Structure formats: C-alpha cells, structure tokens
Amino acid sequence: MQNRRVFIDITQQRLDVVENNVVIFTALISTAKNGAGEQQGSECTPRGKHIIRAKIGAGCAENTVFVGRRVTGETFSESLREEQPKRDWILTRILWLSGCEKGVNRLGNVDTMRRYIYIHGCPDNSPMGKPESHGCIRMLNREVIELFDLLPVGVSVNIKE
C-alpha cells in the first residue's frame, strides 16, 4: 500500500488509484459545479497535491447520512430527498482531504481541510462524469466503499484539471 496513489482528473471527471504504475481502481466521479479553485467559499474543487487526512464511516451501512462528519441516524432514501430537496447529501464514507502545498491548498484562505473537502458517497442516481458538487469529489456508494477499503490515511491524492 506504500506505493498507492490517487489521481483525480477534473476535466475527465475520473479518479484512479495507481499502485506500482498500474491502475488498480478507477471510477467516474463528480467534482464541483463551479469548476476548479482553491479559495474559501468558492465551492470549487481544489487542485494540487493532497493527502487523505482522515477516514470516516468505517463499517457504516450504505446510504448512511453524515452531517459535520457525524452519523445522523438517517438512511438516505428518495422520500428523505423529497422532504429536503436542497440538502447536499454526504453518504456512506468520507475521505477527508488535506492540502500539502502551502499557499496553494494549505493554510490561509486556500486550506482544503478547513474547506471540508472530501471524497464521499452520494445518492446512487446522481450523475457521475458531470460536475455537480459544492467542491467535494462525489462517488457512487459502492465505489466509495471499495475506495475507502483500498486506501490508508496519509495516501497521496493529486487533483489536476
């Protein structure tokens, strides 16, 4: 696992896990509707070198709902979505990113971790391959579970346009 790295391509809306120069996992994703950017409050997906700082949700059921990185006790359903149509659904697992490049995606008004940028699950009927998020990297639930189990805390995540 020491040689595992994650590459996220915003243009292609794709996430790859590479180990020893071989792609071992790939998935379509959904990054920010507002495009790429690092500024606090921009609702953009940050670029550059990151690490996974924390993994949240190990062992939780698929469609577990999180708010503020805490389990709410809810399970996502279409009826719940109808009750709360404006809610940004963070489901199943959270891989919390931290920037590694001071002044680019770390510290000050460009701090990825303080912006609460995650790789996380979303409703399974959400479109993948199309920018729709508020800055995070969204994945289908079954795929985020697989990714979560593949990666240790501290693994490198490179996000490019």
Model confidence at 2, pLDDT cuts 50, 70, 90, reads: low
128 contacts: CB under 8 Å, gap ≥ 6: 13, 27, 28, 29, 30, 138, 139, 140
Provide the whole-model pTM: 0.96
Contact 147, 7 (CB under 8 A): no
Question: Could you read off the pLDDT of 23-60 as tens digits, one per residue?
Answer: 999 999 999 999 999 999 999 999 999 999 999 999 99
Domains of the chain: 30-154 (2.40.440)
Q: How far is the CA of 136 from the CAs of 24, 83, 141, 152, in angstroms? A: 22, 23, 14, 19
76/92 Cα distance (integer angstroms)? 9
